[in-house]
Amino acid sequence: MDFTNKIILAPMAGVTDYAFRRVCRWLGADLTVSEMISAKAMHYGDKKTATLIYTKDDDAPYGIQIFGHEPEIMADAAYLLSRGLYNPEGKETRDGILTPLPSYIDINMGCPVRKIVSSGDGSALMQSPQLCEKIITACVKKSALPVTVKIRAGWDKENISCVEIAKIAEASGASAIAIHGRTREQMYEPRADWSYIEAVKKAVSIPVIGNGDIFSAKDAIDMMDKTGADSVMIGRGALGNPYIFKEIKCLLEKKTYTPPTISQKLQLAMEQVWTMVEEKGERVGVAEARKHLSWYLKGERDSASTRDRINRCMTLDELSFTLHSYLQNLK
């Protein structure tokens, strides 16, 4: 599995389901990553967790991200997921194996959300280098696929541990490391400090993936130029704008990028919504699609009232009618 020269969709809880990964891939994302999967929930055979690993053959290569703080449980999750053996819902398999298989397993050591870190997971792990080593080593040993690690700069400005954790990850057998240029304390403000990415790149020989504040093609190129990062990972910059992957590819290939019209954007958005409804059912699919449609419309002319109506839609027909009405009123 090659982690160099890639434009990657970052894992985002409640966002990077199959439908969103699919449209990002259509527009040029080289790799995508699942929503966070709780290793402990897997340990107890949680059926809802099983739905988060759902994918199809057109979603490749992609990684599954797991989180937790118990080495044995994390390693068991890596074992099952890397072999297509986690199937509490009893889905149809091929010779007992769920297909398609992911391409790699990613360990979350960077999530800053309170409910994650309060359990000792996510970026809380960056305060415990020895535990990080145990988790990564155990997962690498049990996984049949490459293992990557996603971290932050550190816990807070007094505890910057990214270089130490990156060296541990490399020594423990990780195939690549992604780093977000903020501490846990900073969450998503102020602007990411890419110097941490540069420091990690200089400290290890495995591929380093830069993450944080990439909202345009220029941002992506600047990050790689300034940090030496082997690849870039895009999270919030893709919300409502999966075209960012196409924009980056055009700049890299010295091609002219033509931004989509609002009609093209909303047609793509509805393709995503239809997939969500097909895979999750109308009630869940529509409920989860509302935020995506609001992101697609953010900043568009006269869209405030439409975003408000979208947040009250309960059916696919209501969503379609609302977007159609918006486009008609723009003419």
Binned at pLDDT 50, 70 and 90, residue 54 comes out as confident
pTM reported for the whole predicted model: 0.94
State pLDDT tens for residues 262-292. 999 999 999 999 999 999 999 999 999 999 9
Cα 47 → chain centroid: 21
- In Å, how far are 4, 69, 132, 165 from 109, measured between CA atoms? 21, 9, 8, 10
pLDDT score of 72: 98
Q: What is the mean pLDDT of residues 157-178?
A: 97
State pLDDT tens for residues 84-121. 988 887 787 777 788 889 999 999 999 999 999 999 99
pLDDT score of 242: 97
Q: Which amino acid is at 35?
A: E
pLDDT score of 86: 87
pLDDT beyond 80 at 228: yes
We find that the CATH architecture of domain 262-330 is Orthogonal Bundle (1.10)
pLDDT beyond 80 at 57: yes
DSSP secondary structure, 188-214, as one string? T-S---THHHHHHHHH-SS-EEEES--
CATH 1.10.1200 in the chain: give the residue spans.
Answer: 262-330
pLDDT score of 92: 75
Q: What is the mean pLDDT of residues 222-234?
A: 98
Q: What is the mean pLDDT of residues 153-165?
A: 95
pLDDT score of 267: 95
State pLDDT tens for residues 229-261. 999 999 999 999 999 999 999 999 999 999 999
Q: Tell me if residue 111 is catalytic.
A: yes
Binned at pLDDT 50, 70 and 90, residue 183 comes out as very high
pLDDT score of 202: 98
pLDDT beyond 90 at 205: yes
User: Coil, strand, or helix at residue 306?
Assistant: helix
Q: What is the mean pLDDT of residues 293-314?
A: 93
pLDDT score of 177: 98
Query: Which CATH number describes the domain made up of 7-252?
Result: 3.20.20.70
Average pLDDT, the chain: 94
pLDDT score of 24: 97
pLDDT score of 53: 87
Q: CA geometry: angle at 45 spanning 116 and 66, to 5°?
A: 40
Rg of the chain over Cα atoms, rounded to whole angstroms, equals 20
Q: Which amino acid is at 20?
A: F
The residue whose two tokens read 């019209």 is 261
pLDDT score of 166: 98
- Residue 11 or residue 57, greater confidence: 11
Q: What is the mean pLDDT of residues 59-82?
A: 96
Binned at pLDDT 50, 70 and 90, residue 50 comes out as confident
CATH 3.20.20.70 in the chain: give the residue spans.
Answer: 7-252
Angle between helix axes 316-330 and 282-297 (nearest 10 degrees) is 20
Candidates 111, 132, 139, 162; catalytic one? 111
pLDDT score of 97: 82
pLDDT score of 49: 87
Taking the C-alpha atoms of residue 300 and residue 165, their distance in angstroms, rounded to an integer, is: 42
